[in-house]
Amino acid sequence: MDAFIDGLMSKMTIEEKIGQLNLVTAGEATTGSVVSTDVESKIKAGNIGGIFSMTSPARIRKAQELAVKESRLKIPIIFGMDVIHGYKTIFPIPLGLAATWDMPLIQKTARVAAVEASADGLNWTFSPMVDISRDARWGRISEGSGEDTYLSSRIAREMVIGYQGDDLSKNNTLMACVKHFALYGAAESGRDYNTTDMSLHRMYNEYLPPYKAALDAGAMSVMTSFNDINGVPASANHWLLTDLLRKDWKFNGLVVTDYTAVNELIDHGLGDLQKVSELSLKAGVDMDMVGEGFLTTLKKSLDEGKVSEDDINRACRFVLEAKYRLGLFEDPFKYCNEDRAKKEILTVEHLKLAREAAGKSFVLLKNENNSLPLKKQGTVAVIGPLANTGANMPGTWSVSADLNNTQSLVEAMRSVLGNKVNIVTHLGANLTDDPALQERSTMFGRTIPRDDRAPEEIIADAVKVSQEADVIIAALGESSEMSGESSSRTDLNIPESQKRLLEALVKTGKPVVLVLFAGRPMTLTWENEHVPAILNVWFGGTETGKAVADVLFGDVNPSGKLPATFPQNVGQLPMYYSQKNTGRPLAKDAWFQKFRSNYLDVNNEPLYPFGYGLSYTNFEYGAIKLDKSSISKTDQIKVTVSVKNNGNFDGEEVVQLYLQDLVGSQTRPVKELKGFQKIFLEKGKSKEVEFILKDEDLRFYNQKLEFVSEPGKFKVYVGTNSRDVQEAEFELMD
Ligand code: BGC
């Protein structure tokens, strides 16, 4: 590779090198304002290195032909896209996938996404998104794996392996792009694109590991984030992109900015376009997404001595290396195969996996008196604004989904249940009473019809329809575009219009099941008190509706566990289980104590803790056992617990292990996830679950940013979620 690229670069003019750094859209779906014009002539002139959001083998072939036949040096183009949770076969939103805690399954979903997208001409995906977020106001919490460092790191790895396979040059793999580097999920106030300001200690221990895990798994590209980090925006942050990423982490792949992130440095206040392009290149950015600041200013900056040829060569080399690794120099058309596009997209197997993944992502939040599963008989009323919309089922960031051919919940339930169950349905309430808010929340074709009558009239009609039914399923919550990019919210309740509907449905006295659609943790205090059964289904992708039927009627036993804490109210945010103790912790089980760390008006507990999720069966945990009470740094310790399925259904359980470092040179979280196992148990069966803890599990970044373990006592917690655990203690000896 080195010799080939040396040879090629020796023939390139400076303009051609700068051209490689230019990533454009050709007019397709965009999240910002600048769209490159004159793409064809730019390709011929060697002014384009990559195109994103262009699909189909025929179109891609045409663009590639311009590059490899009509540009001077015939350098192929790289084709990228946001393939976030599936390509045409859409899987649950990433937060939902995280709720499966099923690593082989997650890897398979990424593999299928890569097969489909590469069959349609693509070779690069802007995924995985691994930004830790502990503030559910932030709409993009839906796109990541939630609040936890360990879980997110494990998932990051699986996604990269799924996309890239064992050989990036194969025609069915995609280059992964880990994003958004870095700390994008810690945006102040949960407002998108907002500032982050964070100690190094927190970064290293809590926020950076998932990016690193993706790189360790071989991710060959990184996307810089929009946000400011401690005073220097990520896309111009030399410490982040060069000192940390290149020097410490030894990353040797491609660094691309987010959408117009170079240009946005102007609004961040770093200078004009020429200046910010210079800063960004010198900080370590190789490729400029959409904004063309590099294309239009770097030559001038070179002539003026503000950037060096070495800077440009470095960036150009990383772009060319990515193309080389993808095998594009060998065969620029290897991803352009119409036959594959016809055969390998939306296959029966892919849809089967999507249905399985959706069913496994659902989290049963409440199931009083075993209200669920339902019997396949009688009349069921499916009421609510989410009941009859196919377009919202794929969830946010599913740009290539076929919205017209995605079944709504009601359509899917009818197709699964046939004539065993009579299904009646009604809108019941508008998504929200405010038409302007509804419009903002249903963009990109994710429409939900409105009824312009007074809310009471709509509710009254829905109640009338429900009177015929034996059971009411309330399909409520967020529309898919109420989460995702630029969809932050300050109120995380189910919108008021729908809440009033739910109250009316509960008042009928009939059994009510809340099927909650959500792209984030929501605040459900009222619902938890008044509705007997709550199934949180996120947005499950193409097969959402069928999977909901599978779970509601007992063909699938829910096993999802929350990857993010559900607070009681927004005022508790940011909220996460792995918090520090403070010097004035609230006494265990106390509601309020004066001069202790708490609130006057609400206790410190979440509504549903991290790792929480019920099953139709019951898992009984035996006593936690450690094989040693102390270990040295070269030793390991075995933790075992027996788990028994003593309920009436076969089912899966996620057995979770947390650690607490009791005394150290610095404060440590009250609990940190360090292991989990998803096990299947037939009813009546039990299993010994075993975890091995080693010194590396006990390490953390100390004040000098050394990754060390410190002798002393540790607590081990094992349980069904982060709150309901048993504990044991051991000591790490010097
Ligand atoms: C988003 C990225 C995405 C990019 C390209 C941006 O607005 O932040 O996640 O990859 O657009 O579509």
617-665: pLDDT as tens digits: 999 999 999 999 999 999 999 999 999 999 999 999 999 999 999 999 9
Ligand 1 pocket member 313 (CB < 6 A): no
Q: Is there a cis peptide before residue 128, judged by omega within 30 degrees of 0? A: yes
Which tens digit of pLDDT belongs to each residue from 470-480? 999 999 999 99
Q: Are 660 and 671 in contact (CB under 8 A)?
A: yes
Which tens digit of pLDDT belongs to each residue from 132-167? 999 999 999 999 999 999 999 999 999 999 999 999
Average pLDDT over residues 336-348: 96
- Between the CA of 30 and the centroid of ligand 1 the distance, in Å, is 8
pLDDT band at 28; cut points 50, 70, 90: low
| pLDDT score of 446 more than 80 | yes
Ligand 1 pocket member 259 (CB < 6 A): yes
- Between the CA of 481 and the centroid of ligand 1 the distance, in Å, is 15
Is pTM, for the whole model, over 0.95? yes
Strand partners, 221: 177, 254
Ligand 1 pocket member 34 (CB < 6 A): no
Ligand 1 pocket member 56 (CB < 6 A): no
- Between the CA of 235 and the centroid of ligand 1 the distance, in Å, is 14
User: Atom of ligand 1 at shortest distance to CA of 180?
Assistant: 9
Total number of residues shown for the chain: 734
Select from 485, 486, 488 the residue to mutate for testing ligand 1; criterion: most ligand atoms less than 8 Å from CB: 485
Ligand 1 pocket member 485 (CB < 6 A): yes
Ligand 1 pocket member 131 (CB < 6 A): no
Strand partners, 707: 701
Q: How far is CA 416 from CA 384, 545, 596, in A?
A: 20, 9, 53
Average pLDDT over residues 65-90: 97
| pLDDT score of 124 more than 60 | yes
| pLDDT score of 34 more than 60 | no
| pLDDT score of 35 more than 90 | no
Ligand 1 pocket member 672 (CB < 6 A): no
Average pLDDT over residues 441-470: 97
Select from 126, 142, 175, 183 the residue to mutate for testing ligand 1; criterion: most ligand atoms less than 8 Å from CB: 126
pLDDT band at 601; cut points 50, 70, 90: very high
Amino acid at 35: V
Average pLDDT over residues 399-423: 97
478 vs 392: CA distance, rounded Å: 9
Q: How many CB atoms lie within 10 A of CB 632?
A: 12
Q: Are 358 and 59 in contact (CB under 8 A)?
A: no
Closest C-alpha to ligand 1, atom 8: 258
pLDDT band at 36; cut points 50, 70, 90: confident
Average pLDDT over residues 115-131: 98
3 state SS of 566: strand
Identify the residue whose tokens are 């892919």.
Answer: 350
- Between the CA of 22 and the centroid of ligand 1 the distance, in Å, is 16
Evaluated on CA atoms 365, 370, 374, 379, the torsion sign reads negative
Average pLDDT over residues 104-127: 98
| pLDDT score of 339 more than 80 | yes
Ligand 1 pocket member 258 (CB < 6 A): yes
**Residue 30 has what pLDDT?**
55
Select from 23, 31, 81 the residue to mutate for testing ligand 1; criterion: most ligand atoms less than 8 Å from CB: 31
pLDDT band at 38; cut points 50, 70, 90: confident
**Residue 31 has what pLDDT?**
63
Q: Are 671 and 658 in contact (CB under 8 A)?
A: yes
Instruction: Give one DSSP letter per residue of 276-342, joined into a string.
Output: HHHHHHHHT--BEESS-HHHHHHHHHHHTTSS-HHHHHHHHHHHHHHHHHTTTTT-TTTT--HHHHH
Question: Parallel, antiparallel, or unpaired for β 672-681 and 725-732?
Answer: unpaired
Structure token pair of residue 448: 């939900």
- Between the CA of 126 and the centroid of ligand 1 the distance, in Å, is 8
User: Atom of ligand 1 at shortest distance to CA of 289?
Assistant: 5
- Between the CA of 215 and the centroid of ligand 1 the distance, in Å, is 19
328 vs 1: CA distance, rounded Å: 12
Ligand 1 pocket member 126 (CB < 6 A): yes
Mean of per-residue pLDDT scores for the chain? 97
- Between the CA of 258 and the centroid of ligand 1 the distance, in Å, is 6
| pLDDT score of 33 more than 70 | no
Q: How many CB atoms lie within 10 A of CB 314?
A: 14
User: Atom of ligand 1 at shortest distance to CA of 179?
Assistant: 9
- Between the CA of 259 and the centroid of ligand 1 the distance, in Å, is 6
Residues tagged active-site: 258
Q: Are 45 and 22 in contact (CB under 8 A)?
A: no
573 vs 561: CA distance, rounded Å: 20
Ligand 1 pocket member 324 (CB < 6 A): no
153 vs 147: CA distance, rounded Å: 11
Closest C-alpha to ligand 1, atom 11: 259
Which tens digit of pLDDT belongs to each residue from 703-733? 999 999 999 999 999 999 999 999 999 999 9
Percent of the chain whose predicted confidence (pLDDT) is above 90: 98
| pLDDT score of 265 more than 90 | yes
